[in-house]
Amino acid sequence: MDYQLMYDITPLLLKAAWVTLKISFWSFWLGLIVSSILVATRLSGILILVWLSRVYVSFIRGTPFFVQLLVMYYGTPAFGIELDAYNAGIIAIGFNIGAYMSEAMRGSILAVDHGQNEAARSLGFSGFSTFLYVVLPQAAGLMIRSVGVLTVIMIKSSSLVSIISVVELTYQAQRIIGSTYKPLEVFAVAAVLYLIIIYGVRYIIDRSYDHYTRYLH
Amino acid sequence: MKLNFVPVLSYFDSLLAGLWWTILLAVSAGIISVFGGILIATIINYTSRIVSAPLRFFVWLFMGTPLLLQLWLFYHGWAQLDILLPAMFIGIFGLGFHYASYNADVYRAALETISHGQYEAARSLGFGHLRTLFLIIIPQAMYRSIPQLGNNLIIMVKDTAILSIIGISEMVLAAQYAISVTYRPFEFYITVALIFYAINLILESLLNHYEKKSLIKL
Amino acid sequence: MINSKEKAMVEVINVKKSFGDIHVLKDITLSVEKGKIISIIGPSGSGKSTLLRSVNHLETIDAGEIWFDGVQVNQPQLKGRAFEKHINRIRQKMGMVFQQFNLFPHLTAIENVTLAPIKLKKMAKKEARELGRYFLAKVGLTDKEVVYPSKLSGGQKQRVAIARALAMEPKVMLFDEATSALDPELVEEVNQVMKQLAKEHMTMLIVTHEMNFAQEVSDRALFIDEGYVVEEGDPKMLFNSPTQERTQLFLRKMLTE
C-alpha cells in the first residue's frame, strides 16, 4: 500500500470532490423543482397534464440514467441547444432525480390524513392555502427519509458525468489511476471522500427529519 | 431541428446485437448478484462478528461508492496484478458484486423477519443448526426477498449501460459506434432508451404478475 | 316543522344526495333559527353526518338548496375560482368540530387556534395570540397553549378543536359526533364546553349518539333514518315518547347497547 501516493493525491481528489458536491447541490434543487412540477401536474386532475406527468416519470425511471445523460449532452445539439458538460450533467441529474422524488413527494402528500384537509377547508382556507399551511408541513416530515435515500443515489450517479469529461471525483480518480497504475490506493482515497460526502448528506437529512417531525414526540 | 431516423434503421441490427449482449450481461451478473448475495448474507448473519467483519466492510463499501469507481478499480486492478482479464469478465463480476451487496442487504432483512419461532420449531423437531438454516430459514428468506430482488434486478439491467464505458460491446457501445459513422446521436440514444424502456416494461409486468400469483398462494 | 317569520340561520330545503348507487339523503328539509340548538340522531348510515357536512359543503348535494344567513351555500351556477371564493367566505363564518378532531399536528394548541385568524382574517400575530388565549381559556386549556396535539388527551384535543373553530367567531357551530371517538371519562369535559356555548346562544347543529346530552342541551331534535327525517320535535317528547315506531325502535336499541 503506497501511503505516500495516497497522501500526495489527496489535494487533487479533494478539489474534484468539491466539484462533485457542487454538481450534487445544484442537481438536488433542480430535482426538487422538477419534482414539484411533476406532483402539481399529477395531482391537478387535468387529464392531459396527469398523463404527461405519468409518462415522464415512467420513462425516466424505465431508462438508464447513463443514456439520459448522453442524450442531454450529445443529443441536445440536434435541437439547437448547446450545453457544456457541467450544465448538461446537472440538468440530466436534476431531471432524473426529480422523477424519483416526485413519487416520494406524491406518496407523502397523499399520506397526510384527509381529515386535515377537511378541517382546514371547514375553517375557510382555500385549497392552495390548505396545502401550504397544513398538508405540506406534514408531508415534508414523511418524505425526507425517501428524499435522503434518493440524494445518496444521486451522488453516486453523478460519477457518470466523468464520462463527458467533467472533472469531478470519479474523473480525477480514473485519470490518476491511469498515470500512476495504483488503482487500489486511488480507489481508497476516492472512496473515503465519497463516503464522507454521503455521510455528510445523511447527517443533514437526519437533522432535517428531526426538525420536521419534532411535534410527533 | 432535423431529425432523421433512417440511419437508425440501417444500423438496427447492430443495436439488436448489442441488445443480445446486454441481456447476456444482465443475466450473468444477475446470477452472481443473487447467489453471491445469499452467500454474503448467510455468512454475515450466522457467523461471529469478527469473522463477518471484512464482509460487512465490503458490503458497506460497495453500497456507499459509485459503481463506475468500482469498475475502474477492477479494470485497472487486475492489470496491476498482471492478470489480464477480458473486459467482459470484469464487467460481469463488477456489476454482479455491486448488486450482490445490495441483495445481501435485502436477504438479511428478510432473514430477520422470519421469526425465531421457526428456528426453534425446527430445532425441536430434531433438525441440526445447519440443516435448519438451509432447509427452512434460508428458503423462506429467499422467497420473501423476491419482490425486492426483482426490483434490484430491474435496476441492474439499466446499469449494464455503464459497462459500455469499459469497452464491453453492449447496446450503448453499439449505438456509439453507429453515431461515430452517422452523426445522429439523439436518434440513436433515444432509440436505445426506448429499447431499454420496452425491456423495463416487460420485466416490471413479469414481476407484477409473479407478485400477484404468489399472493394468491399465500 | 317550525315556521318562523324570522329568517332562519340555516335552511336545508329538499336536499338529496347519493354516493354512487346509494341514496344517502332522499329528501331532507330542516330549519335552524338563530341561537337555537338542534340535535340530529339516527343509526349509522342514516345520512346524518352527510347532512351536516352538506351544510358547509364538505359534501356536494345533488338536489335541493342549502341556505346560511340569507346566502345560498350550494350555487351550481358558480364555477371554479368564483365558487371557491364564495364557499371559503361562507365557511369562515361557520365552525365545524370533527369526530376525529383533525387538529393540525405540526402546530401547537395556540397555533392551531390562531392559524385561521392570522392567515384568513389577516390578524396581527399579537392580536391573534390574545384571541387564541381567550378561546383556549374558554375551553379550559390555558396551560396547554404551547403543547403539541400529540401530547394532549382526546378530550383536550377536541376542546382545542372547538377553540379553533370558535376563534373565527362563526355564526353557527356544526358538531359531527364530537364525542364519539372519546373514551367515556373524557366525554364530559367536551360536553361541558358545548353546554356553555349553548348557554351563550350559539346556533348549533349537533349530530350525536349521546341521547341524554342531546335531550339536555337542544331546543329541537331530529331523528333521521334511511335518508329521511322520520320525526322532529321537542327533545323531551322525542326521546321519551316518540310518535313514530321507527324512532321508538331506534331509541330502544340505543338504550340496550
Residue B122's pLDDT band, with cuts at 50, 70 and 90, is: confident
Q: Is the per-residue pLDDT at A95 higher than 60?
A: yes
Nearest chain B CA: its distance from A119 CA (Å) = 38
E runs forming strands in B96-211: none
Predicted confidence at residue A196, as pLDDT, reads 96
For residue B79, give the chain A residue with the closest CA.
A181
Q: Is the per-residue pLDDT at B32 higher than 50?
A: yes
Cβ-Cβ contacts under 8 Å, C161 against chain A: 119
Please, are residues C214 and C235 in contact by the beta-carbon 8 Å criterion?
yes
Predicted confidence at residue C77, as pLDDT, reads 84
Predicted confidence at residue B158, as pLDDT, reads 96
Query: Which one, of C163, C115, C170, C169, lies nearest residue C139 by Cα?
Result: C163
User: d(Cα A4, Cα A21) in Å, to the nearest integer?
Assistant: 26
Predicted confidence at residue C1, as pLDDT, reads 45
User: d(Cα C85, Cα C94) in Å, to the nearest integer?
Assistant: 15
Query: Which one, of A57, A55, A53, lies nearest residue A42 by Cα?
Result: A53
For residue A198, give the chain B residue with the closest CA.
B64
Q: Which of A61, A67, A183 sits opposite B189 (nearest CB)?
A: A67
Tell me, yes or no, whether A25 lies in a domain.
Answer: yes
In 10 A of CB C205, how many CB atoms?
28
Query: How many domains does chain C contain in total?
Result: 1
Question: Which residue range forms the structural domain that includes residue A202?
Answer: 3-212
Residue A164's pLDDT band, with cuts at 50, 70 and 90, is: very high
Place of cell 443475466: B27
Q: How much is the average pLDDT of B137-156?
A: 89
**Which grid coordinates are listed for B48?**
461471529
Strand, helix or coil at B81? coil
Which carries the bigger pLDDT value, residue B116 or residue C236?
C236
Largest CA distance in chain B: 74
**Which grid coordinates are listed for C6?**
324570522
User: How many CA atoms lie less than 13 Å away from C179 in the CB half-sphere?
Assistant: 20
Backbone angles phi, psi at A55, to 5 degrees: -65, -45
Q: Identify the bridge partners of residue C68 per DSSP, sorted by sequence position.
A: C10, C71
Cβ-Cβ contacts under 8 Å, A113 against chain C: 102
All residues at 6 or more sequence positions from C255 whose CB lies less than 8 Å from its CB, including other chains: C211
Predicted-complex ipTM score: 0.90
Predicted confidence at residue B139, as pLDDT, reads 85
Cβ-Cβ contacts under 8 Å, C92 against chain A: 123-124
CB contact under 8 A, A125 and C89: no
Tell me, yes or no, whether A112 lies in a domain.
Answer: yes
All residues at 6 or more sequence positions from A129 whose CB lies less than 8 Å from its CB, including other chains: A120, C119, C120
Place of cell 474523473: A171
All residues at 6 or more sequence positions from C127 whose CB lies less than 8 Å from its CB, including other chains: none
pTM of the model: 0.85
Predicted confidence at residue B128, as pLDDT, reads 81
Residues 52-71 of A with CB under 8 A from B: 59, 61-68, 70-71
Question: Which residue range forms the structural domain that includes residue B58?
Answer: 6-217
User: d(Cα B163, Cα B71) in Å, to the nearest integer?
Assistant: 8
Compute CA distances B131 → B38, B47, B118, B125, C155, whole Å: 16, 15, 13, 12, 56
All residues at 6 or more sequence positions from C245 whose CB lies less than 8 Å from its CB, including other chains: none
Residue B157's pLDDT band, with cuts at 50, 70 and 90, is: very high
Neighbours of chain A (3+ CB pairs under 8 A): B, C
Q: Which of A134, A216, A217 sits opposite C104 (nearest CB)?
A: A134
Q: Which of C58, C91, C100 sits opposite A124 (nearest CB)?
A: C91
User: d(Cα A55, Cα A111) in Å, to the nearest integer?
Assistant: 23
Place of cell 426490483: B151
Tell me, yes or no, whether C53 lies in a domain.
Answer: no
Nearest chain A CA: its distance from B211 CA (Å) = 19
Nearest chain B CA: its distance from A50 CA (Å) = 20
Q: Which amino acid is at B197?
A: Y
**Which grid coordinates are listed for C176?**
359531527
Please, are residues C57 and C51 in contact by the beta-carbon 8 Å criterion?
no
Residues C170-193 as b/e (b if ≥16 CB within 10 A, e otherwise) read bebbbbbbbbeebeeebbebbbeb
Residues 165-204 of B with CB under 8 A from A: 165, 172, 179, 184-187, 189-190, 192-194, 196-197, 200-201, 204
User: d(Cα C27, Cα A194) in Å, to the nearest integer?
Assistant: 68
Predicted confidence at residue B216, as pLDDT, reads 64
Q: Is A119 at the interface with chain C, CB within 8 A?
A: yes
Which carries the bigger pLDDT value, residue B2 or residue B165?
B165
Compute, in degrees rounded to 10, the torsion defined by CA atoms C173, C176, C182, C185. 50
Tell me the CA end-to-end span of chain C in Å, nearest whole number: 30
Tell me, yes or no, whether C250 lies in a domain.
Answer: no
Predicted confidence at residue B1, as pLDDT, reads 63
CB contact under 8 A, B69 and A159: yes
- Choose, out of C68, C100, C102, the residue to mutate when testing the contact with A (most A CBs < 10 Å): C102
Place of cell 379553533: C164
Profile chain C (257 residues) by mean pLDDT over runs of 10 residues. Answer: 65 93 92 94 89 93 93 86 91 94 94 95 94 96 94 96 96 95 94 95 94 92 92 90 88 79
Q: How much is the average pLDDT of A155-178?
A: 94
- A abuts B (3+ Cβ pairs < 8 Å): yes
- CATH number for position B202: 1.10.3720.10
CB contact under 8 A, C106 and A126: no
Query: Which one, of A124, A61, A122, lies nearest residue A95 by Cα?
Result: A61
Tell me, yes or no, whether C113 lies in a domain.
Answer: yes
Report the side by side order of strands in the sheet with C94-97. C71-72, C63-68, C10-19, C22-32, C228-233, C220-225, C37-41, C203-207, C172-176, C94-97
Class of residue C256 by CB neighbours under 10 A (exposed 0-12, middle 13-18, buried 19+):
exposed
CB contact under 8 A, B65 and A71: no
Place of cell 349509522: C44
Residue A217's pLDDT band, with cuts at 50, 70 and 90, is: low
User: d(Cα C31, Cα B91) in Å, to the nearest integer?
Assistant: 78
Cβ-Cβ contacts under 8 Å, A78 against chain B: 1-3, 184-187
All residues at 6 or more sequence positions from C196 whose CB lies less than 8 Å from its CB, including other chains: C138
Query: How many domains does chain B contain in total?
Result: 1
Residues A142-157 as b/e (b if ≥16 CB within 10 A, e otherwise) read bbbbbbbebbbbbbbb
- CATH number for position A197: 1.10.3720.10
Cβ-Cβ contacts under 8 Å, A128 against chain C: none
Q: Is the per-residue pLDDT at B215 higher than 80?
A: no
Tell me, yes or no, whether B1 lies in a domain.
Answer: no
Predicted confidence at residue B217, as pLDDT, reads 57
CB contact under 8 A, B196 and A64: yes
Tell me, yes or no, whether A217 lies in a domain.
Answer: no
Q: Is the per-residue pLDDT at A103 higher than 50?
A: yes
Distance of CA A152 to the CA centre of its chain: 8
User: d(Cα C160, Cα C166) in Å, to the nearest integer?
Assistant: 10
User: d(Cα C170, Cα C163) in Å, to the nearest integer?
Assistant: 11
Work out how many CB contacts closer than 8 A connect A with C: 72
Predicted confidence at residue C240, as pLDDT, reads 87
Question: Which residue range forms the structural domain that includes residue C157?
Answer: 104-169
Q: Is C120 at the interface with chain A, CB within 8 A?
A: yes
Written as one string, the DSSP assignment of B194-207 is HHHHHHHHHHHHHH
In 10 A of CB C10, how many CB atoms?
24
- Choose, out of C71, C85, C94, C104, the residue to mutate when testing the contact with A (most A CBs < 10 Å): C104
CB contact under 8 A, A123 and C116: yes
For residue A192, give the chain B residue with the closest CA.
B65
Class of residue C13 by CB neighbours under 10 A (exposed 0-12, middle 13-18, buried 19+):
middle
User: d(Cα C168, Cα C89) in Å, to the nearest integer?
Assistant: 11
All residues at 6 or more sequence positions from B141 whose CB lies less than 8 Å from its CB, including other chains: B41, B107, B110, B111, B114
Neighbours of chain B (3+ CB pairs under 8 A): A
Q: What percent of chain A has pLDDT over 70?
A: 100
- Choose, out of A122, A209, A210, the residue to mutate when testing the contact with C (most C CBs < 10 Å): A122
Q: Which of A113, A124, A215 sits opposite C92 (nearest CB)?
A: A124
